[in-house]
């Protein structure tokens, strides 16, 4: 096999996806499509919709909530009055699961410094679709995190919501192949889960032309390294199908880390950075891609159904 220099591999973010795929795909192709094979079980179970259970009332319906406080890593600009300041927020989310992994999620946001809320900072976000956490499953979901407003101001061209400015994500989840686990995991008890996906936004704002353009498409590869103690680190690499579609706020990669406990009544503490991060060989837009451009979140959750 021809040797691929490390730097060359890093310069192509999704090359890692191809490397993992070269290990994963043959294992799927050689597997027998029966109920004992976990790969095929995951693939075949994707988007399952047992309507009979919904009709007779035996479906595992659930309604959960999430309460969170989000704090910018650097809020010094709030006091100095300059720069791309971000307000701290209190958030309340509801997630309704009527059937298996089908869901509807709404998140309400209260800005503690409302005077610096930007047009693209939403009063609420929402998403829906199918998302199964099990490995070897496909997921598809729509999400809208744009400038949604409860009371839109027409003079500022605000809207209640712009559905076409949301995004559709289709992804496939898989664990780190066993061949690579000893090389990348520090301990055999540590878990590494990954996913590959395609994101499509029907409408998006192009800063260079100050106009609305169509069909921004992004391929992603993301992984999460989790310890048994609930501490974790995650990252996601992005490849824009058309480089011209990448905006200053669209990162080459995103990352996060922290402590996450999914059990009801537990608390989680996380840091996330989505702020236009760039690889060293790409030009970074001033005011983005720094650690202080991320934010810390303290949250808890519980079940109502």
> What pLDDT score was predicted for residue 144?
98
Determine the average pLDDT of the residues in 81-91: 74
Q: Is residue 51 part of a domain?
A: no
Closest CA relative to residue 127, chosen from 139, 112, 115: 139
pLDDT class for 83, splitting at 50, 70, 90? very low
Q: Is residue 262 part of a domain?
A: yes
Q: Is residue 45 part of a domain?
A: no
Q: Is residue 86 part of a domain?
A: yes
pTM of the model: 0.84
Number of domains in the chain: 1
> What pLDDT score was predicted for residue 84?
55
Helix axes 38-45, 15-29, angle to 10 degrees: 100
Do residues 289 and 278 touch, judged by C-beta distance below 8 A? yes
> What pLDDT score was predicted for residue 284?
82
Determine the average pLDDT of the residues in 117-142: 95
Number of Cβ within a 10 Å radius of residue 157: 9
Q: Is residue 43 part of a domain?
A: no
159 pLDDT higher than 90 = yes
Residues of the chain with pLDDT > 70, as a percent, come to: 85
Cα-flanking dihedrals φ and ψ of residue 38, to 5°?
-65, -30
126 φψ region: left (φ > 0), alpha (ψ -120 to 50), beta (else): beta
Q: Is residue 124 part of a domain?
A: yes
Contacts of 155 (CB under 8 A, 6+ apart): none
Q: Is residue 143 part of a domain?
A: yes
Do residues 235 and 13 touch, judged by C-beta distance below 8 A? no
> What pLDDT score was predicted for residue 14?
45
> What pLDDT score was predicted for residue 129?
97
Do residues 120 and 144 touch, judged by C-beta distance below 8 A? no
> What pLDDT score was predicted for residue 36?
55
> What is the 3 state secondary structure string of 111-143?
ECCHHHCCCCCCCEEEEEEECCCCCCCEEEEEE
CATH of the domain at 105: 2.40.160.40
* 3 state DSSP class of 82: coil
Q: Is residue 240 part of a domain?
A: yes
Do residues 302 and 265 touch, judged by C-beta distance below 8 A? yes
Average pLDDT of the residues of the chain = 86
Q: Summarize pLDDT for 255-300 with one digit per residue, the tens.
A: 999 999 999 999 999 999 998 999 999 988 888 899 999 999 999 9
- N-terminal to C-terminal alpha carbon distance within the chain: 55
Q: The dihedral of CA 170, 175, 179, 183: what is its sign?
A: positive
Structural domain boundaries enclosing 226: 6-32+60-303
Q: Summarize pLDDT for 118-130 with one digit per residue, the tens.
A: 888 999 999 999 9
> What pLDDT score was predicted for residue 53?
75
pLDDT class for 139, splitting at 50, 70, 90? very high
> What pLDDT score was predicted for residue 33?
46
> What pLDDT score was predicted for residue 112?
95
State the Rg of the chain over Cα.
21
Q: Summarize pLDDT for 15-54 with one digit per residue, the tens.
A: 444 444 444 444 444 444 444 588 888 999 899 887 777 7
- Which tokens hold the place of 159? 């809207």
C-alpha 203/C-alpha 214 separation (Å) is 5
Greater confidence (178 vs 162) lies with: 162
Q: Summarize pLDDT for 172-181 with one digit per residue, the tens.
A: 999 988 888 8
């Amino acid at each position: 096999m021809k040797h691929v220099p490390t730097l060359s591999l890093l310069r192509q973010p999704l090359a890692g996806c191809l490397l993992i795929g070269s290990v994963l795909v043959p294992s799927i192709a050689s597997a027998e499509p029966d109920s004992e094979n976990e790969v095929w079980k995951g693939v075949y179970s994707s988007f399952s919709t047992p309507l009979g259970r919904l009709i007779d009332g035996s479906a595992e319906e659930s309604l959960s909530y999430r309460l969170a406080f989000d704090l910018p890593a650097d809020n010094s600009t709030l006091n100095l009055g300059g720069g791309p300041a971000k307000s701290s927020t209190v958030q309340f989310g509801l997630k309704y699961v009527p059937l298996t992994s089908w869901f509807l999620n709404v998140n309400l946001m209260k800005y503690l410094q409302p005077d610096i809320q930007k047009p693209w900072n939403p009063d609420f976000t929402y998403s829906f679709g199918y998302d199964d956490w099990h490995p070897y499953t496909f997921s598809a979901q729509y999400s809208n995190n744009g400038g949604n407003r409860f009371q839109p101001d027409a003079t500022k061209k605000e809207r209640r919501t712009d559905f076409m400015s949301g995004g559709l994500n289709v992804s496939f989840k898989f664990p780190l192949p066993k061949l690579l686990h000893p090389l990348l995991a520090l301990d055999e008890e540590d878990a590494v889960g990954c996913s590959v996906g395609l994101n499509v936004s029907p409408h998006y704002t192009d800063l260079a032309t100050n106009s609305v353009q169509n069909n921004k498409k992004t391929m992603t590869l993301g992984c999460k390294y989790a310890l048994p103690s609930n501490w974790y680190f995650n990252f996601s690499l992005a490849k824009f199908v058309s480089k011209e579609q990448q905006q200053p706020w669209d990162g080459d990669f995103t990352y996060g880390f922290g402590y996450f406990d999914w059990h009801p009544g537990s608390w989680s503490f996380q840091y996330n950075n989505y702020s236009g991060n760039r690889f060293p060989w790409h030009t970074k837009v001033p005011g983005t891609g720094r650690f202080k451009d991320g934010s810390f979140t303290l949250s808890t959750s519980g079940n109502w159904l």
